[in-house]
């Protein structure tokens, strides 16, 4: 359906044309003087030069054709030549009725749906999820949902890190602790046990322990490197251990992502790309892209206009081992083969930017992707503590995601119980729902590329630009609608009428912005625009609520109109928070 802004621009363009000017001057923008008007058109100013006429004269001509407009209740010329506009209440009400009936609430489905793979999450097997992985999960999940809503085929891939040194470290540490396990017996030829020789908590303790040792003990580190190598060669005992590590970790990861309301279509992993490496490397050599430099196999990726040095992309180390780059390139080969995507979007820490510049350039140069396959990198900033440094535990260690969620939920629980409208049993559940909104909104309301400060007190507040404030607004609407129904009201009756006061008109105008906001948020991969939008809508709703008697309205048709407007507001807010990846409780 046509956006309100488009319909207004059409009306203005027609008036420009009728008065003998180019219709392209009929653009409409939101007013920057909300005290004077709702919208404005600056086309007469722009046209003055072309027509060698004073702008107000052009504006006067145009406005004459807007006198009987069905769209505007006011079209006024302000010197030197601005056209100030106000929308007719009836037109606005009709627009919202159409929007409410539209399945996508006025968002136009993508004309050419694209297949887009989003690479996000990126956890590493056997290492606990930490806050560094939080942003990728939250932002990626939201962009996936927005992309689907605007009509694309979006495939989310967690791209597990399962192939690096961490595996060799765990195997090595296990071997030191339990050398008697069959996995280390080279003469063993039987089946390996089905049960893993460790639990997830043991695994999470083993990794940091091994990682610490390898930093101090060179022999230990070499042992781990050797184990990694043997695993990558397919040594049966190590492969069996790798399988155990995978199963135990993935179960745990899924549980954690579930809690975050984050899910993936694909649970692909770095090791899945390994079979594509030999062929890919061969081809790069044959085509003359890859050459040996100081023993390593590299591809040049620097370009003429580079302002900083972009080092060559390394494919194989001198010992023949592959690298992070190699894996990412081979993953592109695999993705092209399996899904032929129009775009692959990586949602990864911006400190990895150089890596992706190298990978993208190399993939393009060597023809791993088609000319029109987009490779995009959304590099996000760091989540910092109040001290402005990367978020840590009180003791200075890496904060585990589970701990962070627990802290937020406890804080939320306290606040909700203080509110005392909810019973204790419900309060726990509610705290989890609201806590998730605090974390996600706190993150998503910032532009993704920027660093931000994780501030539990601010994020969990019911006031201000926070997730809980948005949920509070939704809950308030739900409770009015419930009360209306309990009093025997029919939620389906009536229709949205002209606004009765300014705050209602403002709410109605805000609601019309939904379509453009969501389309633009996808275009720019910017969930923060949806946050900014629902903050405005919530403010507009709360002003309307404070200034208008809703349930005590005596005119039945008017009351029904308010109810329909509440329903639409609720639908817009709920759709938006779903796009952000959280939901609202019934009470809080």
- Find the shortest distance in angstroms from Cβ 308 to ligand ARG: 21
* Beta-bridge partners for 452: 383
- Find the shortest distance in angstroms from Cβ 346 to ligand ARG: 6
Which residue's Cβ lies closest to ligand ARG? 122
For ligand ARG, the closer of residues 69 and 124 by Cβ is: 124
Q: Where are the alpha helices (DSSP H) in 30-189?
A: 43-51, 55-64, 89-101, 131-149, 165-177
* Binding track over 199-228 against ligand ARG, x by CB under 6 A: ------------------------------
- The answer, yes or no, to whether the previous bond of 80 is cis (omega within 30 of 0) is yes
For ligand ARG, the closer of residues 204 and 328 by Cβ is: 328
Q: How far apart are CA 123 and CA 129, in angstroms?
A: 7
For ligand ARG, the closer of residues 126 and 511 by Cβ is: 126
- Find the shortest distance in angstroms from Cβ 88 to ligand ARG: 51
The piece of 72-80, 116-124, 382-390, 450-458 that touches ligand ARG (CB under 6 A) is: 116-124
Q: Where do we find the tokens 């204790």?
A: 424
For ligand ARG, the closer of residues 335 and 440 by Cβ is: 335
**Taking CB under 6 A as the rule, does residue 119 contact ligand ARG?**
yes
**Taking CB under 6 A as the rule, does residue 21 contact ligand ARG?**
no
Longest Cα pair distance anywhere in the chain, in angstroms?
96
- Find the shortest distance in angstroms from Cβ 588 to ligand ARG: 35
The piece of 3-11, 118-126, 168-176, 566-574 that touches ligand ARG (CB under 6 A) is: 118-126
3-state secondary structure (DSSP) of residue 381: coil
Q: Among candidates 128, 123, 77, which has minimal Cα distance to 403?
A: 128
Q: How far apart are CA 424 and CA 83, in angstroms?
A: 57
**Taking CB under 6 A as the rule, does residue 299 contact ligand ARG?**
no
- Find the shortest distance in angstroms from Cβ 92 to ligand ARG: 46
For ligand ARG, the closer of residues 160 and 534 by Cβ is: 160
- Find the shortest distance in angstroms from Cβ 256 to ligand ARG: 15
Q: How far apart are CA 249 and CA 127, in angstroms?
A: 8
Q: Pick from 69, 124, 228, 366: which binds ligand ARG (CB under 6 A)?
A: 124
* Beta-bridge partners for 78: 82
**Taking CB under 6 A as the rule, does residue 156 contact ligand ARG?**
no
**Taking CB under 6 A as the rule, does residue 161 contact ligand ARG?**
yes
What is the number of alpha carbons within 13 Å of residue 295 lying toward its C-beta?
A: 5
For ligand ARG, the closer of residues 124 and 510 by Cβ is: 124
Q: How far apart are CA 458 and CA 27, in angstroms?
A: 40
**Taking CB under 6 A as the rule, does residue 328 contact ligand ARG?**
yes
Contact 12, 28 (CB under 8 A): yes
**Taking CB under 6 A as the rule, does residue 122 contact ligand ARG?**
yes
**Taking CB under 6 A as the rule, does residue 26 contact ligand ARG?**
no
Per this entry, what is the length of the chain? 588
**Taking CB under 6 A as the rule, does residue 140 contact ligand ARG?**
no
The piece of 27-35, 119-127, 166-174, 529-537 that touches ligand ARG (CB under 6 A) is: 119-127
For ligand ARG, the closer of residues 348 and 508 by Cβ is: 348
For ligand ARG, the closer of residues 348 and 434 by Cβ is: 348
Cα angle vertex 555, ends 550, 561, to 5°? 55
SS in 3 state form for 499-551?
A: CCCHHHHHHHHHHHCHHHHHHHHHHCCCHHHHHHHHHHHHHHHHHHHHHCCCC
Site residue total, ligand ARG (CB under 6 A): 8
- Find the shortest distance in angstroms from Cβ 230 to ligand ARG: 22
Q: Pick from 348, 362, 422, 427: which binds ligand ARG (CB under 6 A)?
A: 348
**Taking CB under 6 A as the rule, does residue 346 contact ligand ARG?**
yes
Q: Pick from 3, 135, 144, 159: which binds ligand ARG (CB under 6 A)?
A: 159
Work out whether the CA dihedral 206, 207, 208, 213 comes out positive or negative.
positive
3-state secondary structure (DSSP) of residue 27: coil
For ligand ARG, the closer of residues 348 and 405 by Cβ is: 348
Rounded to 5, what percent of the chain is helix, strand, coil? 55, 10, 35
- Buried-exposed string 487-502: b where 16+ CB fall within 10 A, e elsewhere: eebeeeebebbbbbee
**Taking CB under 6 A as the rule, does residue 322 contact ligand ARG?**
no
- Find the shortest distance in angstroms from Cβ 219 to ligand ARG: 27
The piece of 117-125, 237-245, 375-383, 433-441 that touches ligand ARG (CB under 6 A) is: 117-125
Cα angle vertex 576, ends 571, 578, to 5°? 95
Question: CB burial class (10 A; 0-12, 13-18, 19+) of residue 304?
Answer: exposed
Which residues of this chain interact with ligand ARG, rule CB under 6 A? 119, 122, 124, 159, 161, 328, 346, 348
């Amino acid at each position: 359906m046509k956006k309100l802004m488009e319909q207004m621009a059409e009306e203005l363009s027609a008036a420009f044309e009728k008065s003998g000017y180019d219709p392209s001057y009929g653009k409409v923008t939101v007013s920057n003087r909300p005290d004077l008007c709702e919208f404005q058109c600056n086309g007469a100013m722009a046209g003055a030069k072309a027509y060698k006429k004073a702008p107000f004269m052009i504006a006067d001509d145009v406005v004459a054709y807007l006198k009987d407009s069905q769209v505007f209740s006011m079209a006024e010329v302000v010197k030197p030549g601005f056209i100030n506009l106000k929308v007719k209440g009836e037109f606005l009400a009709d627009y919202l009725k159409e929007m409410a009936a539209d399945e996508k609430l006025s968002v136009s489905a993508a004309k050419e749906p694209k297949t887009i793979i989003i690479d996000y999450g990126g956890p590493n097997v056997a290492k606990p999820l930490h806050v560094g992985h939080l942003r990728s999960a939250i932002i990626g999940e939201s962009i996936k949902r927005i992309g689907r809503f605007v009509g694309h085929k979006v495939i989310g891939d967690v791209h597990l890190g399962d192939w690096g040194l961490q595996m060799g470290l765990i195997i090595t540490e296990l071997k030191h602790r339990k050398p008697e396990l069959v996995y280390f017996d080279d003469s063993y030829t039987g089946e390996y046990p089905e049960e893993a020789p460790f639990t997830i908590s043991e695994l999470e303790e083993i990794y940091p322990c091994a990682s610490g040792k390898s930093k101090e003990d060179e022999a230990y580190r070499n042992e781990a490197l050797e184990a990694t190598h043997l695993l990558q060669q397919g040594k049966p005992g190590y492969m069996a251990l790798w399988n155990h590590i995978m199963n135990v970790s993935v179960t745990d990861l899924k549980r954690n992502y579930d809690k975050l309301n984050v899910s993936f279509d694909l649970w692909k992993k770095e090791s899945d790309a390994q079979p594509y490496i030999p062929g890919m490397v061969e081809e790069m050599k044959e085509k003359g892209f890859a050459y040996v430099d100081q023993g390593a196999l590299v591809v040049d990726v620097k370009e003429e206009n580079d302002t900083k040095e972009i080092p060559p992309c390394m494919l194989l180390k001198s010992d023949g081992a592959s690298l992070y780059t190699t894996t990412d390139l081979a993953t592109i080969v695999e993705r092209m083969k399996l899904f032929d995507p129009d775009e692959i979007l990586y949602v990864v820490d911006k400190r990895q930017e150089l890596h992706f510049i190298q990978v993208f350039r190399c993939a393009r140069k060597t023809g791993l992707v088609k000319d029109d396959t987009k490779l995009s990198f959304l590099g996000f900033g760091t989540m910092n503590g109040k001290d402005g440094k990367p978020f840590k535990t009180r003791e200075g260690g890496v904060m585990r995601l589970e701990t962070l969620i627990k802290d937020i939920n406890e804080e939320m629980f306290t606040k909700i119980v203080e509110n005392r409208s909810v019973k204790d049993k419900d309060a726990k559940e509610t705290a989890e729902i609201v806590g998730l909104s605090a974390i996600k909104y706190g993150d998503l309301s910032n532009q993704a590329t920027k660093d931000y400060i994780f501030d539990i007190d601010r994020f969990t507040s019911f006031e201000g630009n926070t997730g809980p404030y948005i949920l509070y607004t939704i809950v308030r609407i739900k409770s009015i609608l419930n009360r209306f129904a309990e009093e025997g009201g029919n939620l389906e009756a009536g229709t949205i009428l002209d606004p009765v006061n300014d705050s209602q008109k403002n709410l109605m105008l805000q609601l019309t912005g939904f379509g453009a906001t969501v389309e633009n948020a996808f275009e720019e991969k910017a969930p923060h625009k949806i946050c900014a939008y629902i903050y405005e809508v919530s403010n507009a709703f709360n002003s309307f609520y404070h200034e208008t008697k809703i349930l005590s309205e005596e005119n039945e048709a008017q009351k029904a109109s308010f109810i329909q407007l509440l329903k639409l507001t609720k639908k817009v807010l709920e759709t938006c928070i779903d796009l952000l990846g959280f939901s609202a409780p019934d009470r809080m």
